[in-house]
Structure 1
Amino acid sequence: MSKVSIMIVDDHKLIRETWSFILGSDPRFEVIAECGDPEEAIEMAKMRQPHIVLMDINMSPISGFDATEQIRRFSPETKVIGVSMHSQPAYARKMLQVGAQGYVTKNSSKDEMVKAILEVDKGNKYICDEIRHIISGQLNDAENEGPDIQSLTEREIQIIHFIKAGNSSKEIAQQLDISLKTVEVHRHNILKKLKLKNAAALVNFINSNPSLY
């Protein structure tokens, strides 16, 4: 079984040497190059065609994002894993957008780095646990957000009272001496703020929360 060839790109020599030693000690891998200059990395990738590039994203004179894009252009078979101290999901998304197949933070363990390399080498995408936990937490927060009752205006609450009494939009418009279109706009905003899909859901919400209005 052939070894996975790896190139390490990071502008910190100690990090390069540490990862080179760790990965080079694994019989599944072969570190064929390492450098701290992204422009040099592009040229080295053209010549060496590594299976995997571990790419630090914070470098100069060009960023790891730009270097990744160019490596993928000149060496399309090479797969890039972004490596960064940034744990914001936006950085991972941007790396994937420019052609990377994986993203790990510098908080990741040796075992997770190895897992990322093996998964990406097989053609899969890999996002480290730290990023996935943050994304999962954000999704849970969004799902747990309740209706934004406090943002309802006095007019919107007034219209909710009319709806509760069984008035149609046309009747509400006549009662408030406003246009039918204005009533519909208010109803749309009410649904949006209460995170409801339609008028039936609004009626159910009002009936289920009589004390709110």
Structure 2
Amino acid sequence: MFVHNPVNDKITILIVDDHKLIRDTWSFILNSDPRFQVIAETDSGKDAIGLAENNHPNIVLMDINMSPMNGFEATKEIRKVSPESKIIGVSMHSQPAYAKKMLQVGAMGYITKNSSKEEMIGAISEVAHGNKYICHEVKAILSEQILEDNEKPDINLLSQREIEIIDLIKQGQSSKEIAQQLNITLKTVEVHRHNILKKLNLKNTAALVNFINNAGMA
């Protein structure tokens, strides 16, 4: 690890990553921008805490995948000793759960190692000005998950009668048998079955049976 003397009016940065090539690359990129000054770097979460306490950087770029102390643990400790330092989690993981966990332990931003140079610089600028930042890659995955959740069948859309019919379908009863048991016409059963598939966005009875099993209705 090493420490630079900060330059006035520049956003000071501490880089924490256990790969020297990454630290060297980020240092070169950021020190080439007149707005930034990398004042320290380290490959250790534990050392990062001491560096933050002694130097109070504006920004900490924190790799989350380190050992023995990972980025989550180091972030929590840095927030105690240098609460004014704003932390950006950096990881190879693009799953939103990692970003969420970093924000929960006190980080202000999250980017992946697939993020571009421009996005990293943009993230640092946003966070330095007090804004939270989540990279485009994680946002895109989060949007896909939300859309998928919205497209999932929702049993709450069904009426009580339709749920009764589903219960009989899962027992293997035919439409004729269902009509007899519920004392309704065969045509009414077929209408209910059609409405059930439509409400649940399912194509056929096989898909309905699969949904019943996966939804824990079996």
Q: TM-score, normalised by structure 2?
A: 0.71
Alpha-carbon spacing, 1:101–1:163, altered in 2? closer, same or farther (3 Å): farther
* Equivalent residue for 2:26, pick from 6, 19, 27: 19
Q: What is the Cα deviation at residue 146 of structure 1?
A: 3.1
- The SS at the match of 1:31 is strand
Alpha-carbon spacing, 1:79–1:153, altered in 2? closer, same or farther (3 Å): same
Distance in 2, Cα, partners of 1:66 & 1:111: 28
- 1:150-197 deviations in whole A, cap 9, x for unaligned? x943278969x85988xxxxxxxxxxxxxxxxxxxxxxxxxxxxxxxx
- 1:209 maps to what in 2? 195
- 2:3 maps to what in 1? none
Is there any run of 5+ residues in structure 2 with no aligned partner, and where?
Answer: 1-7, 172-177, 186-190, 199-204, 206-218
- 1:91 maps to what in 2? 98
Identity %: 55
- 2:64 maps to what in 1? 57
* Equivalent residue for 1:2, pick from 4, 9, 19: 9
- The SS at the match of 2:115 is coil
Instruction: Give the counterpart letter for 1:154 in structure 2.
Output: L
Equivalent pairs, count: 172
Is there any run of 5+ residues in structure 1 with no aligned partner, and where?
Answer: 166-204
Equivalence map 1:112-151=2 (5 Å)? 112-147=119-154
- 1:30-74 deviations in whole A, cap 9, x for unaligned? 100011011001000000000000000011111100000000111
Taking only aligned residues, the RMSD between alpha carbons, in angstroms, comes to: 2.9
- 2:168 maps to what in 1? 154
* Maintained 8 Å contact 1:164/1:206: no
- 1:67 maps to what in 2? 74
Distance in 1, Cα, partners of 2:24 & 2:55: 19
Distance in 2, Cα, partners of 1:127 & 1:84: 12
Runs of 4+ in 1 over 4 A off after TM superposition: 155-159, 161-165, 205-208, 210-213
Q: What is the Cα deviation at residue 17 of structure 1?
A: 0.4
Distance in 2, Cα, partners of 1:19 & 1:111: 12
Alpha-carbon spacing, 1:211–1:137, altered in 2? closer, same or farther (3 Å): closer
- 1:186-213 deviations in whole A, cap 9, x for unaligned? xxxxxxxxxxxxxxxxxxx949728889
Equivalence map 1:172-187=2 (5 Å)? none
- The SS at the match of 2:145 is helix
Alpha-carbon spacing, 1:209–1:11, altered in 2? closer, same or farther (3 Å): same
- The SS at the match of 1:61 is coil
Say yes or no: does 1:76 pair with 2:90: no
Equivalence map 1:181-196=2 (5 Å)? none
- 1:108 maps to what in 2? 115
Instruction: Give the counterpart letter for 2:34 in structure 1.
Output: P
Distance in 1, Cα, partners of 2:94 & 2:196: 44
